[in-house]
Each structure stands twice: as C-alpha cells, then as structure tokens.
C-alpha cells in the first residue's frame, strides 16, 4: 500500500497550507493579551498605586490610524521640572491587545533633563495604549490613547514562511 501523502500535488499541498494559516488567523484572540493578562501586567509593575493614578501631565504622541502595526512611532513626554525635588522615576507603556501587555518600562532620574521617551512599537491590532508615570514622591499619573491598526503586526507573522 502506498502512502497518500506522497502523492499530493504541489497545488493541493499549498492550498492546504494556506487554509491552515487562515484558520489559525481566524482564532479569536489567539495572539492577544486578554483582560486578565493586562490586569496582571499592571498589578505586577504598578501594584495598588494604580487605583490612585491621576489623569494629566502625560502627552502621548501616537497616530490615530496606523496602516500597519509592524512599526508605529510613539513618543511619550511627562510634564516635570526634572529636579531632585520633583522628577519622574519611571515611565511604563502598555498595549491591551498585544501578546505581551507591557511594551516598555523606563527608569529615569533628575539628571535625564527631560521626562521623554520615543520608539517604534509593534501593535497586533486596534487597541488602547496606556502610559503610567511614577513621580519621585510615589504618585502615579496616567493617560490612554486608542489607535486604529489596519494590519496587525502579530497577525502578519503567520503569513511569512
């Protein structure tokens, strides 16, 4: 008896492979952090101080629409004189639908001069990007921006062979 897999045509094999990739992409939330993962990331990094975080002092420069989530420019600045008496200690950036919620955690001091960070981030799809800034007195400030992503970065990885 011959093995039927040895007699597959190239077209049949490629069609099966393509259908398998589409099926994986169709799984709901397969490559996304859920609400529980986002809550765990916030709890682990910020703890109970998150409940008392105030709105304001943070400026998030993020486009409202990104054609591709592979490289989205992000700039975060926190209003602070950056003196030894009043400065930003930490800036933490989270994305609620990425496979890993924590995008970046930066530690700063008064010698930084400005409380500002910039980078390009990968986003798996339309989601909220949240920033938490910890001041030297232990208080937290927060801000959130929503971004619409046409093609998610994590989904496009499935199409590469």
Instruction: Kindly state whether residue 110 falls inside one of the protein's structural domains.
Output: yes
Q: Which domain holds residue 72?
A: 31-159
What's the whole-number mean pLDDT along residues 32-61? Answer: 86
Mean pLDDT computed over 87-103: 94
pLDDT band at 26 (very low <50, low <70, confident <90, very high): very low
pLDDT higher than 70, residue 136: yes
Q: How far is CA 68 from the centre of its chain?
A: 14
Report the pLDDT value the prediction gives residue 51, as an integer from 0 to 100.
84
Q: pLDDT tens-digit profile of 10-25?
A: 666 556 555 554 444 4
Examine residue 5 and state whether it is found in any structural domain, yes or no.
Answer: no
Query: Is 60 inside any structural domain?
Result: yes
User: Considering only CA atoms, which of 81, 141, 131, 138 is closest in space to residue 111?
Assistant: 81
Is the model's pLDDT at 126 over the cut of 60? yes
Task: Please tell me the distance from the alpha carbon of residue 102 to that of residue 122, in angstroms, as a whole number.
Answer: 12
Q: Which residue has the higher pLDDT, 133 or 19?
A: 133
Asked whether residue 127 is assigned to any structural domain, the reply reads: yes
Residue 133 has pLDDT above 90, yes or no: yes
What is the number of domains present in the chain? 1
Query: What is the residue-averaged pLDDT of the chain?
Result: 82
| Whether residue 112 has pLDDT greater than 80 | yes
Q: Of 26-30, 52-56, 116-120, where does mean pLDDT reach its minimum? A: 26-30
The yes-or-no verdict on residue 71 having pLDDT over 90 is yes
Has residue 71 been placed in a domain? yes
Q: What is the pLDDT of residue 131?
A: 97
Phi, psi of 106 (to 5 degrees): -115, 135
CATH number of the domain within which 94 lies: 2.60.40.2470
Structure-token match 């400065």, residue found? 87
């Amino acid at each position: 008896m011959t093995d039927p897999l040895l007699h597959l045509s190239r077209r049949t094999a490629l069609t099966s492979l393509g259908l398998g990739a589409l099926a994986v992409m169709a799984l709901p939330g397969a490559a996304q952090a859920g609400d529980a993962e986002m809550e765990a990331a916030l709890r682990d990094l910020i703890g109970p101080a998150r409940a008392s975080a105030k709105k304001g002092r943070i400026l998030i420069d993020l486009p409202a629409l990104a054609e591709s989530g592979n490289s989205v420019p992000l700039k975060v600045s926190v209003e602070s004189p950056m003196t030894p008496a009043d400065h930003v200690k930490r800036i933490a950036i989270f994305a609620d639908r990425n496979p890993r919620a924590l995008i970046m955690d930066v530690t700063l001091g008064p010698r930084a001069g400005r409380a500002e960070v910039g980078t390009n981030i990968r986003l798996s799809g339309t989601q909220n990007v949240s920033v938490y800034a910890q001041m030297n007195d232990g208080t937290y400030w927060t801000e959130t921006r929503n971004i619409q992503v046409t093609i998610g970065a994590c989904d496009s990885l499935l199409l590469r062979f």
